[in-house]
Amino acid sequence: MKLVRYGAKGAEKPGILDDEGQVRDLSAHVSDIAGDCLTRRCLAALRALDPATLPLVAGSPQRDLRLGACVGQVGKFLAVGLNYADHAAESGMDVPAEPILFTKWTSCIAGPDDDLPLPPDSTATDWEVELGIVIGDGGSHIAPERAADHIAGYCVINDISERDWQLRRGGTWDKGKGHDGFGPIGPWLVTADDIPDPRALRLWLEVDGHRFQDGTTATMVFGPEEIVSYVSRFTTLHPGDVIATGTPPGVGMGQKPPVYLKQGQVMRLGIDGLGQQQQKVV
């Protein structure tokens, strides 16, 4: 099941993709793809619907129909750093013994194809294609063997990062991670039952047609269930919380010499089974 939020920025409505890839409106059944809508009980009710009986939304998604972030009203946007051994190597950092956690402020969340405004004075804005986890049923101190029960589904995330502010301005990484537009999410939320093995997904990213990242979630240090269990030791997870799980090698910082985003460039990125994004730097 692929769930979407469609329409103008700030006024998105809930929808579901039908077998033809068209959006069907879910407004009569849920107010948003958010919060308690993402619990196992609510997802089961949505799964029982026949999309063909729902109102057809005019336009083709990601063409003449804008999609917003596939999750609304996100309470926490968390992320894991250096979660691919080969990315840690290109960053000149050790593979972590435990997940490195940081936050992306929820104000950075954007639609999958929204323009990326380059922050004033930015000199090192970078890209990171990542598998995103969306929490369904919440909880704390979740046992690893039960963590899958708390995952509503998966999505594509571009963990955009300003490296100078992330690494050279003191304090935590958050300064370089949460600027407006730095968290495109979507195009759709694919429920966990449609992703049999989240550690067997190819993910890639291109800038102006040049492929910089081309990896697989098989090289993750910590898998989705480990991450959910670990994070829940430090904060209570709620329905609709989002966790970005790290990126494979090929980021701009890892190029020799480093390559960073410039105005007018276009990023394209995607993950097998989870769709694609495109952002123009403005």
- Give the whole-angstrom CA distance, residue 243 versus residue 230: 12
Structure confidence at residue 95 (pLDDT):
83
Give the pLDDT means over successive 10-residue stretches in the chain (282 positions). 98 98 98 98 98 98 98 98 83 85 97 97 96 98 98 98 90 91 98 97 98 96 98 98 97 96 98 98 98
**Which residues are bridge partners to 154 per DSSP?**
133, 190
What is the CATH superfamily name and number for domain 72-280? Fumarylacetoacetase-like, C-terminal domain (3.90.850.10)
As a three-state string, the secondary structure of the chain is CEEEEECCCCCCEEEEECCCCCEEECCCCCCCCCHHHHCHHHHHHHHCCCHHHCCECCCCECCCECECCCCCCCCCEEEEECCEHHHHHHCCCCCCCCCEEEECCHHHEECCCCCECCCCCCCCEECCEEEEEEECCCECCCCHHHHHHHEEEEEEEECCEEHHHHHCCCCCHHHHCCCCCCEEECCCEEEHHHCCCCCCCEEEEEECCEEEEEEEHHHECCCHHHHHHHHCCCCCECCCCEEECCCCCCCHHHCCCCCCCCCCCEEEEEECCCEEEEEEEC
Q: Contact, 61 vs 6, CB < 8 A?
A: yes
Count Cβ neighbours within 10 Å for each residue of 165-198 and write b for 16 or more, e otherwise: bbeeeeeebebbbbbebbbbbbbbbbbbeebeeb
Omega of the bond leading into 248 within 30 degrees of 0 (cis): no
Sheet holding 210-216, edge to edge: 210-216, 202-207, 266-271, 275-280
Interacting residues of 235 by C-beta distance below 8 A, sequence separation 6+: 76, 78, 140
Domain boundaries, the chain: 72-280
Contacts 24+ apart (CB under 8 A), 262-266: 262/118, 263/118, 265/207, 265/208, 266/207, 266/208
Provide the pLDDT for residue 85: 81
Give tens-digit pLDDT for 84-126: 987 777 777 788 899 999 999 999 999 999 999 999 999 999 9
Q: Hunting for tokens 């013994």 — which residue is that?
A: 97
* 242-244 and 129-135 beta bridge pairing: antiparallel
